[in-house]
Amino acid sequence: MNFLSEELEDYIKQHCETEPELLQELNHETWEKVLNPRMLSGHVQGRALSMLSNMIKPNNILEIGTFTGYSAICLAEGLVEGGTIDTIDINEELETLAKTYFKKAKIEHQVNYMIGNAVELIPTLKKQYDLVFIDADKENYAVYYDLVFDKLNTGGYIIVDNVLWSGKVLHKPKPEDIDTRAIIDFNKKVQNDSRVQNVLFSIRDGLMVVRKKN
């Protein structure tokens, strides 16, 4: 969802770092071959994720919702030497494409790609993380937040995608609209959490950036 005019969106793209060629290729191949290609972060959000990761310089990243690997590659750009990214997706059909691009990006040795339900897999993870990116099923956003919180180092960050949900967060959702209700509840939960500092950035469909306070 874009909230700005196409002209402004283009202007923003022209004044962000150019999308790396490999990511342009992945973007293109995702649109050619995969259902719901819009889920991919894309040029501006991808550069924002890379910038944030480069600022944080994480040792370990956890991503929930790999899709075709676009955001994982962007986030991995900020890893310190020897750093790792654990990334989870429930859809095994995406494995070949994601793994192909992790290889092309020369990050396959840093990526621990897990296929399965994140709700079940996260409790099995033994690492501590400096950065967590939540970008999977919306109804579990609050569950993911709670599951990862103790695995996040103090001073670490959680970045959460789609928190504006195409602007639907402004209106009372219909009873059957579980995703909108979940995102509204999630945003309230973060806003009321005294353990964190949070800023909602209006990048693309909304990125909530959360820092775990001391």
Per 3-state DSSP, the chain is made up of helix, strand and coil in percentages (nearest 5) of 45, 20, 35
By CB under 6 A, the residues from 98 to 157 that bind ligand SAM are 117-119, 135-137, 140
**Site track for ligand SAM across 53-72, x = CB under 6 A:** ------------x-x--xx-
As a whole number of angstroms, the distance between CA 39 and CA 32 comes to 13
How many chain residues touch ligand SAM (CB under 6 A)? Answer: 18
Under the binding rule (CB under 6 A), the answer on residue 91 touching ligand SAM is yes
Residue 128 corresponds to which tokens in the numbers above? 């501590």
Measured in degrees and rounded to the nearest 5, phi and psi for residue 154 equal -60, 135
Q: Least CB distance from residue 39 to ligand SAM, whole Å? A: 3
Q: Which of 90, 105, 152, 208 binds ligand SAM (CB under 6 A)?
A: 90
Under the binding rule (CB under 6 A), the answer on residue 18 touching ligand SAM is no
CA separation (Å) from 153 to 33, 59, 78, 118? Answer: 37, 11, 17, 20
Which residues of the shown chain bind ligand SAM in the complex (CB under 6 A)? 39-41, 65, 67, 70-71, 88-91, 117-119, 135-137, 140
